[in-house]
Every structure is written in structure tokens, then in C-alpha cells.
Amino acid sequence: MENINELLTEALTPYHVDVVDVGGPLECRVILRDSTGALVLDRHFSRRQFADTRALIDVVDGLHRDLMVAEGRLQPCMLAAMAASAQAPVAGAVMN
């Protein structure tokens, strides 16, 4: 788990990252604090998400997105609009 903590710290610099065991053996929390020690994010994850490289990348991407929302650089409504536009059919596309 120490290795995961180091990887997350490097990926999420300048935030301080703590990976904390919770509940059962498959659960943990990822806590991000800013340079003053103030809590910025606190998320629960399955340890399985740290075992697979693709899943770990998804975790980091999700934390980056959550940080952008927490910092006010991205509005949640923009996430919904982007998701909706990604699912909408392209104009002029032919569907079989």
C-alpha cells in the first residue's frame, strides 16, 4: 500500500495524499490535503482498483476531476453536459 501512496502523491502533486485502511480488507480511503493541511477530498475505494493499471488510472483521473470541481475550475453541470453530448448521436450519422 505504501507504493500506491507514493504513486498517488506523485500523480496528485501538490496535494498531500494519505491512503487509509477502512472496514474490510478490500476497502480504503484516499484523503487529499492542501499545503496548509486542509481537507480537500476524502474518497472511498476498493483495493482492487489499485491492483490493475487501468483501474488505477481511472482513480487518478476521477480524483483530478474532483479536484477541479473542488477548486472551482469545473462545474458539475459541465460534467453532466459533457457526458450527455458524448452519448448523443452525431448529426448526419447513419444508424443501422
What is the DSSP annotation of 13-58? TTSEEEEEE-SSTTEEEEEEE-TT--EEEEEEEETHHHHSHHHHHH
pLDDT the model gives residue 30: 95
Identify whether 80 is part of a domain: no
Question: Does residue 90 lie within any of the structural domains?
Answer: no
| Residue 20 included in any domain | yes
Q: How far is CA 15 from CA 21, 64, 81, 90, in A?
A: 19, 11, 28, 39
Taking 60 as the threshold, does the pLDDT of residue 40 lie above it? yes
pLDDT given at position 39 = 95
Tell me, yes or no, whether 92 lies in a domain. Answer: no
Task: Write down the pLDDT at residue 70.
Answer: 87
* Distance (Å, whole) CA 53 – CA 68: 23
Number of folded domains that form the chain: 1
Q: Give the domain range for residue 69.
A: 2-75
